[in-house]
Amino acid sequence: MNTMLNVALPKGRLGEKVYAMFEKAGFPCPAIKENNRKLIFENKEVGVRYFWVKPSDVAIYVERGAADVGVAGKDILLEYNPDVYELLDLNIGKCDMAVAAKADFKDDRNKTLTVATKFTNIAKRYYASQGRDIDIIHLNGSIELAPILGLSDVIVDIVETGATLKENKLEVVEKFLPISARLIANKANFKFKYQIIENIMAELKAQTEIK
Ligand code: PRP
């Protein structure tokens, strides 16, 4: 019987912070800190198996049960609406979903606004709530290029420090959605592995409250 807890970590800076929290919560796996290209690490003694997943894929692994729990940004959860339990706000990976444009952009409400984004559903919902007609252009990255090259009027994207916008001479029009990292769980596996997940959740919650 597989009694290991399978944890999908978002690869990158956020994932390293998340792993540090799990380690402090009593689920260490020292091999993960070795600098190599392995994607799966396990510590049989404490019963945990970690895998590095592209941040936007964490929710898919958890929804399908390939991972029991994982950490995903609220942006991903709102965009893809995966059928998972959202257990805890980890209070890290904080940023905002924002509209941004070139500094000289003047909005003409009589015209359809062209919006470039990775977050099509979030952008559609936001502009629907404003009663605004938009033309969505879905891009997969380097969204900041779109207004500069005249591909779109504005972008809807994540702003953390604001450095990317600044370096590309764009400005925030409005920050409309605060984002942070959330602990999520597969619905069926949550029942089977309730005890260990509850235990981790309590330990992680204590850490978010200290901050
Ligand atoms: C996000 C976002 C911006 C940048 C904002 O990209 O798309 O480009 O971060 O951060 P800042 O305000 O601190 O400059 P990310 O690094 O997540 O990579 P991505 O292009 O793959 O989305």
Our answer on whether the CB atom of 161 is closer than 6 Å to any ligand 1 atom is: yes
Q: What is the pLDDT of residues 33-76, one digit of tens each?
A: 887 889 999 999 999 999 999 999 999 999 999 999 999 999 99
Distance CA 65, CA 68 (A): 6
Ligand 1 atom 10: residue of nearest CA: 160
CA–centroid distance, 133 to ligand 1, in Å, is 26
Segment 95-117 shows an average pLDDT of 96
Atom of ligand 1 nearest to the CA of 167: 14
Ligand 1 atom 20: residue of nearest CA: 141
Q: How confident is the model at residue 2 (pLDDT cuts 50, 70, 90)?
A: low
| Pairing mode of beta strands 113-117, 134-138 | parallel
Residue type, 72: A
CA–centroid distance, 161 to ligand 1, in Å, is 9
Our answer on whether the CB atom of 56 is closer than 6 Å to any ligand 1 atom is: no
- Name every residue whose Cβ is closer than 8 Å to that of residue 57 and which is 6 or more positions away in sequence: 8
In this model, does residue 210 exceed pLDDT 70? no
Cβ atoms < 10 Å from Cβ of 133? 12
In this model, does residue 156 exceed pLDDT 50? yes
Distance CA 184, CA 44 (A): 22
Cβ atoms < 10 Å from Cβ of 98? 21
Say what the pLDDT of residue 37 is.
87
Q: How far lies 134's CA from each of 31, 44, 125, 184, in Å?
A: 48, 52, 11, 32
> Under the phi-then-psi rule, with left for phi > 0, alpha for psi from -120 to 50, and beta for the rest, what region is 128?
alpha
